Structure 1
Amino acid sequence: MHIASIDIGSNTVLLLISEINLRDKTLNALRNEYRIPRLGGNLKPGSPLMEAKIAELLSILRDYKKIIDDYGCSEVLAIGTNALRIASNSREVLKLAEEETGIKTEVITGEKEARYSYLGASAEYPHDQVSLVIDIGGGSTELTIGKGEEIYFSKSFQIGVVSLKEKYMIQDHEPQSVRKEMKDYSSGVFSEVFGKDFNIGRAISIGGTPTTLYTIINKLPQFIESQIHGREISKTQLTACTDELINLTPHQIITAYPAVTPGREDVITAGAVIMESLLEGLNLPSFLVSTKGIRYGVVYDYIFRNADKYSA
């Protein structure tokens, strides 16, 4: 059975085509597609998505619909996150998208987003220790802590790479002072989880921030998922990377590191600082990089909800 999942975020719009087995509760990824329209750029709560962004989103969804049809998917699970949660015209935009493409999108809560992130990132790991899943998005960051299918803590925080970049990345300011301001602000946002003993055994970070950081730290010539997924970044490596990024312009970043996906170069420094504040505040020595996330979690949720119909 082929199934499609679409994650419409504040920075990216992602498509996963997978083959699932409900009896075995397994997922086999067949194809991933990535686009960076940055729907959340300069978007304030209660303000509308701009016409240019709407047109770009519709174009992406039309492209994705063709791919979905090519694979003969029997289900399409599309979800919208922070940008669509805060935009005043999201309902009208998604109605138009459904009329044009047939794709119906559910705008999910931050808590549900965190759960999907956790399911997508943690499913492949043993249930022998407590896992923290970090999902740094464009407009929000989700932290979920659990063991196996049991979740102990889950919350969506209003901080992301696009929003933090727009708040602090002012080119004529001293880089290190900007870094301190960003880190102090990030630490304040996450303060309720700092200092608590969750007994975290592994930290897993999903999305474009950790994958891009790994390509930069290891000087990869191009983005190759098999060389990134499941790899580790230490706190020392992250600090050294942030030391470098804070002094580079977006143009210098993408020129020096060709594996950085266009559209990431101006927000990766903000993402690095958010990761720095989380590792320091939670006293974590390192984190694992995952290329799986919400779009995988949506499918795993579908599998778990429907598997009992096919049990022997």
Structure 2
Amino acid sequence: MTDVAAANAVPRFAAITLGSNSFNMLVAQSSASEPEVIAKFKQKVRLAQSINPDGNLSPEGMQRGLNCLAWFAKKLESEAVERTAVKVYATAALRQIDNAREFQLKAQSILGLPLEIISGEQEAAIIFQGMTATTPGSGRRLVIDIGGASTEFIVGQEQQMECLLSLDIGCVAANRQLSSDAVVNENSWLLLQQWIADQVGDQLGPINGAAFDHVVGASGIVQSLMEIARNRKLPERIDTQLLQQVKQECLGQPLLKPAITGLQEERKPTLVSGIAILSYLFDALAIDSMTRSGGALREGVLYQAQQLLHATSTNKKP
């Protein structure tokens, strides 16, 4: 970009989120004070499945993550995003591993940016911010975001959060309870349900005690089920009937590659575990149905990046 073009260009900002399953980057510019997304980048890095029994991220998993960040760094250059207008957050997988500091330092060197490993409650708060900014609705809402290694719960009304909870249950973590070549049957289903129950314990008390009018899902498994429903010309919502129907279709199929009509290939490895977690939560929280959020963590981070750009621009003014 020439100096003249750079001077006339609308400033861009970016949000990078390092999830347990996928790394995402959104590039945006402000339009009527709102972020206007102009580019999206994503890779299925699957960090959570690369955590060794000793609690460390494997060398192969670390390299996959760093390679993705090197790609993101090149995209920041080609999209003309100033490093002072980028937010980078990492979530559950990096919260849980013992060699997180090693990854963090290498990532910061590649990106030329600070990488913050956020807590579960911080993640939940940002998810709620991303949901309220992108999802019309009123009343008190329960937001559930099932990731690769953790699940976040938020109860709130409008922009006011009333309850935040993060649990160490996720689709990739659930898959690790079975062998990678397992075939789904009633016994393996019960093993998944028991693991989820053991992980959750009595921790859902605060959510059970909070009244809510609507339930909103913000995760890959929710998107997967919405894709299936859309393909079958069903209402785009999740209920116990849809969960039971897809579960039955998965029986007798490989855990990581169920052949389900209407489902993208990249979503197959987490379908069964995601349904198992959602089914458990529907029962435990007496949920009848769930709709899909228009945004979650990455959209919440994008708003923070926009605020960072605004603060930087204000400080530069004479």
TM over 0.5: yes
Match of 2:301 in 1: 298
* Separation (CA, whole Å) in 1 of partners of 2:261 and 2:43: 19
**Partner residue of 1:207 out of 212, 219, 228:** 219
List aligned pairs for 1:147-226, cutoff 5 A: 147-168=157-178, 175-188=185-198, 189=200, 191-193=202-204, 196-219=208-231
Does the CA contact (< 8 Å) of 1:9 and 1:81 recur in 2?
A: yes
Can you list the C-alpha shifts for 1:168-205, whole angstroms capped at 9, x where unaligned?
46756771122223224324506432683422222111
Match of 1:223 in 2: none
Is 1:242 the counterpart of 2:247 in the alignment? Answer: yes
Match of 1:224 in 2: none
**Partner residue of 1:260 out of 264, 270, 280:** 264
List aligned pairs for 1:1-312, cutoff 5 A: 1-20=11-30, 25-43=33-51, 47-74=55-82, 75-126=85-136, 128-168=138-178, 175-188=185-198, 189=200, 191-193=202-204, 196-219=208-231, 231-250=236-255, 252-253=257-258, 255-257=259-261, 259-262=263-266, 264-290=267-293, 292-303=295-306
Match of 2:6 in 1: none
Structure 1: tracts of 5 or more residues without a match: 221-226
Bigger CA drift: 52-61 or 126-135?
Answer: 126-135
Structure-2 change in CA distance of 1:256 and 1:268 (3 Å): closer
* Separation (CA, whole Å) in 1 of partners of 2:310 and 2:137: 20
Helix, strand or coil for the counterpart of 1:185?
A: helix
Structure-2 change in CA distance of 1:34 and 1:231 (3 Å): farther
Does the CA contact (< 8 Å) of 1:216 and 1:260 recur in 2?
A: no
Bigger CA drift: 284-293 or 295-304?
Answer: 295-304
Count of residues in Structure 1 that have an aligned counterpart in Structure 2? 299
Residue type of the alignment partner of 2:252:
N
Does the CA contact (< 8 Å) of 1:132 and 1:145 recur in 2?
A: yes
User: TM-score, with normalisation over the residues of structure 1?
Assistant: 0.84
* Separation (CA, whole Å) in 2 of partners of 1:66 and 1:85: 26
Does the CA contact (< 8 Å) of 1:134 and 1:143 recur in 2?
A: yes
* Separation (CA, whole Å) in 1 of partners of 2:67 and 2:50: 21
Does the CA contact (< 8 Å) of 2:21 and 2:46 recur in 1?
A: yes
Bigger CA drift: 164-173 or 89-98?
Answer: 164-173
Structure 2: tracts of 5 or more residues without a match: 1-10
Q: Which has the higher helix share?
A: 2
Does the CA contact (< 8 Å) of 2:50 and 2:58 recur in 1?
A: no
Does the CA contact (< 8 Å) of 1:217 and 1:241 recur in 2?
A: no
Structure-2 change in CA distance of 1:130 and 1:117 (3 Å): same
CA radius of gyration, larger in: 2
Give 1:247 deviation, angstroms. Answer: 3.1
Question: Moved runs in structure 1, 4+ residues, more than 6 A?
Answer: 304-310
User: TM-score, with normalisation over the residues of structure 2?
Assistant: 0.83
* Separation (CA, whole Å) in 2 of partners of 1:280 and 1:165: 21
Residue type of the alignment partner of 2:270:
V
Can you list the C-alpha shifts for 1:64-117, whole angstroms capped at 9, x where unaligned?
122222222231111111111122222122211222231321100011011111
Helix, strand or coil for the counterpart of 2:156?
A: strand
Amino-acid identity (%): 22
Give 1:149 deviation, angstroms. Answer: 1.7
Does the CA contact (< 8 Å) of 2:127 and 2:300 recur in 1?
A: yes
